[in-house]
Amino acid sequence: MAQASNPAVSFDTREEVDFVVVGSGAAGGIMAKELAAAGHSVVVLEQGPHLQAVDFKHDEWGYQHNNDLVWSTRHGNRQTFRRNENEEATLQESVLGYAHNVGGSSVHFSGNFWRFRPIDFMEASVRGTIAGTNFADWPISYEDLEPYYTKVDWEIGVSGLQGPWDPPRSRDYPCPPMPIKGSDVLLERAAKQMGLTSYPAPVAILSQPHNGRPACIHCGFCNGYGCEVNAKSSSMVTMIPLALATGTCELRTMATVSQINTGESGRVTEVVYFDENGTEQAQRTRAAVLCANGAETPRLLLMSANSMFPDGLANASGFVGQNLMFNGYSSVVGLFDEPVNAWKSVPTTRVVHDFYELDESLGFYGGGGIDGRHPTAGTPLGFALSAPDMFGSPSWGAEFKENLAFQFSHCAAFDGHSTSLPLATNNVTLDPNYQDDFGRPAIRCTYSDHPDDLATMEWFLNKTVELMEVAGANSINGFYPETGQTGNVHLLGTCRMGDDPMTSVINSDHRAHDVPNLFMCDGSSLVTGGRGQPTMTIMALAFRAADRINQLAQRNEI
Amino acid sequence: MQKELLSRRAFFNSLKDATGKSVILLSMPALLHACRESRQARLAGEDFQTITEEEAIEFDAITARIIPTTETAGAREAGVVFFMDAVLGDSREEQHAILKDGLRELQSAAVQEFDVAYFHLLDARQQDQLIESISDTSFFFTLRYLTIAGMFSLPEYGGNRDFVGYDVIGYQNRGAWTQPYSFYDADFTERGE
């Protein structure tokens, strides 16, 4: 495993730096680069190693079954799950999934990169609030965020083509769309027959060289894997090198943060962490920015409770950890007469966004998008495990084997990606019974999908079945988590942004309402969850938040 | 082949005058020797780190029915049992325990049904009949999972030798692809869609 060296700068833990950034993922990498580029001294604390492209392999067993990137209970990252607060949470192998490495989940994510639309930021006003939920408008608009979406496009590197339903953009994509795959030919043709519009899916993967990085070679191992040629636009390859090149940013890997300490004034004074040897350290700082993701950021705030903040840091509202949103999903699979070979190239190359907002007359709230894929992200092992269930075929023996040989290359999936409502009862809390290897309380996830979210998933399932039938598939089968999701990799809303300190954790500058030199920026900041694919919005928020923080620092207002 | 079979019942019957556990334990090498004599005991003498030689021989036989050798390679050619030996030693004690318990029950069933002590000594029809009878057990689920994993994981984990598993499903572990990926995108391009 390659370990990056950071010879440019090294700060003493007793030396007060300008910022400690916790986490180096989608938001943390951008935050580190932007703050350091503005001349601030920055220490980035990352709990995982600094892997490089050379470390990544087509290793399905290692990444998907051994959890080598995301860690899990077997790697000491224990998590528990329960449906509601009346249940005893039980230890699970994995509940809330995120990568433990420099670049975080931007390293192993699929690269699907939808922007949110104007409606996402003001849906409660337009659609109306929904009883029993915390459905609310954002304190910022699409127009506020658009310049930062465009900044992500060009600084990170995004491939795509403006579609008919896309929100307005101030600049074209830097890279053209990915070449269409067989699975998306089938989707596009079916969509046309049904009067729908399929158009190139935006992806944070380079279709042509950009910013000194090479184009994708279409190996097919994006979703769950690190890119072996640096064509995927992760924080690891786009932002962290620039942050380190400033000479004012130090990256400390294998640094597991356990607490944010505050002084008598209620301001952050230091960030406590275990170093790679397991020794407790504390980095003094003038300010902290938590970019640890929608599970780890609230956990850290809750772990940082003290006499001044008895319910957790920045938690006067009681909203820290609440309103956890996953995004809904559904999938329909089918077999075709000719080879589809959807296991080649990027996960998806077409998207159907005609149903971003479902008609209110359906009687439930929801909306989403549809794309074409390989049923198991193109990986042989996962496919062989699930093919019998998908296609109703034998699960062992000669016929099982014979079927696999046909099914693997002749299948396609049409997936739905949809809304999740924010609920106080869906949350991240500290488990009272389990700890991780550092003795930190395990993350306890409490989650039950709202009935409208389940209805939306079912609606998308039915629509994709229709598309699959029109596409001419055989052996059509579909599913959605009808008894409710028990985990996800989209970790959203747990430290939501808002103007009202009683119903939100951070303001529109990403500053904690209760702690003036503490900022949070990651999936936890989202007020609503969009329709899936949240990483683009997390990155845009990070550029915007860094801009705001730099302005505050310049005015000496932190 | 049948002549070489040594059923567990016959084996224990031969010890009916013996008393004490130690006698049985001391007799196990003799039993294994008999296994080695059989045509299917081709794994004898391999250096297994986690599973026993008996488990290796039996798991090899079961996994070879889950993904059998046909015109193309099966679990046996892929070396699935070596994959199992490697990964069961990597903090998978719980799965190994399931397999140990399940194997004992399967062997008991072999004795009950066919008066044969070991699964690998049954013929293919008998083996399939027994597997069918346990196909909804955690033992079978675990074994099937590891069989498929051993068939389709990178060879560095011990299975999928020479990528024979990938060959079975027409998957090519290449680093790069260019269009056309398939019939459909080639057709799409040809039609100028």
Q: Which CATH number belongs to the domain containing residue A272 in this structure?
A: 3.50.50.60
Please report whether residue B184 resides in a domain.
Answer: yes
Please report whether residue A430 resides in a domain.
Answer: no
Residue A337's φ and ψ, nearest 5 degrees, are -65, -35
Please report whether residue B31 resides in a domain.
Answer: no
In chain B, which residue's Cα lies nearest the Cα of A395?
A: B66
How does residue B175 score in pLDDT terms, banded at 50, 70 and 90?
confident
Mutate to test the interface with A, among B83, B152, B173, B189 (most CBs of A within 10 A): B152
Total structural domains in chain A?
Answer: 1
Say whether B183 and A338 touch across the interface (CB within 8 A): yes
Please report whether residue A296 resides in a domain.
Answer: yes
How does residue A7 score in pLDDT terms, banded at 50, 70 and 90?
low
Please report whether residue B42 resides in a domain.
Answer: no
Please report whether residue A56 resides in a domain.
Answer: yes
DSSP-derived secondary structure letter, B157: G
Say whether B184 and A185 touch across the interface (CB within 8 A): yes
How does residue B11 score in pLDDT terms, banded at 50, 70 and 90?
very low
Range of the domain at B93: 47-190
Q: What is the average pLDDT score of chain A?
A: 96
For A146-172, the pLDDT digits (tens) are: 999 999 999 999 999 998 889 999 999
Say whether A402 and B70 touch across the interface (CB within 8 A): yes
Two structure tokens written together for A538: 């997390």
**Cα within 13 Å of Cα(A236), Cβ side:** 32
* Helix orientation angle between B138-152 and B93-114, rounded to the nearest 10 degrees: 110
Show the CA angle centred on residue A476, arms to residues A475 and A479, nearest 5°: 135
Residue B30 has pLDDT above 80, yes or no: no
* Helix orientation angle between A182-193 and A451-471, rounded to the nearest 10 degrees: 100
How does residue B142 score in pLDDT terms, banded at 50, 70 and 90?
very high
Say whether B185 and A343 touch across the interface (CB within 8 A): no
For A302-352, the pLDDT digits (tens) are: 999 999 999 999 999 999 999 999 999 999 999 999 999 999 999 999 999
Of A58, A65, A345, Cβ closest to residue B173: A58
Q: How far is A46 from chain B (nearest CA, A)?
A: 26
Please report whether residue B40 resides in a domain.
Answer: no
d(CA A68, CA B87): 14
Q: Please report residues of B whose CB lies closer than 8 A to that of A399.
A: none
Residues 56-75 of A with CB under 8 A from B: 57-62, 65-66, 74
Q: What is the mean pLDDT of residues A513-521?
A: 98
Total structural domains in chain B?
Answer: 1
Two structure tokens written together for A319: 């909203």
Please report whether residue B139 resides in a domain.
Answer: yes
d(CA B108, CA B136): 17
Q: How far is B76 from chain A (nearest CA, A)?
A: 13
Distances (CA, A) of A15 to A10, A169, A265, A283, A517: 10, 43, 20, 8, 17
**Of A110-124, A406-420, A517-531, B17-31, the least confident:** B17-31
Residue A4 has pLDDT above 80, yes or no: no
d(CA B69, CA B66): 10
For A60-87, the pLDDT digits (tens) are: 999 999 999 999 888 889 999 999 999 9
d(CA A26, CA A545): 13
Q: Is B74 an interface residue toward A (CB < 8 Å)?
A: yes
Q: Is B138 an interface residue toward A (CB < 8 Å)?
A: no
Q: Is A393 an interface residue toward B (CB < 8 Å)?
A: no
How does residue B42 score in pLDDT terms, banded at 50, 70 and 90?
low
Say whether B67 and A400 touch across the interface (CB within 8 A): yes
In chain A, which residue's Cα lies nearest the Cα of B131?
A: A396
For B57-70, the pLDDT digits (tens) are: 999 999 999 999 99
pLDDT at B7: 39
Closest CA to B159 of B151, B167, B148: B151
Please report whether residue A317 resides in a domain.
Answer: yes
Closest CA to A202 of A378, A419, A371, A354: A371
Q: Please report residues of B whose CB lies closer than 8 A to that of A343.
A: 171
Please report whether residue B124 resides in a domain.
Answer: yes
Range of the domain at A45: 13-66+92-107+114-157+234-323+490-558
Q: How far is the first Cα of chain A from the last one, in angstroms, to the nearest whole number? A: 39
d(CA A452, CA A39): 47
pLDDT at B37: 46
Q: Is A214 an interface residue toward B (CB < 8 Å)?
A: no
Say whether B169 and A179 touch across the interface (CB within 8 A): no
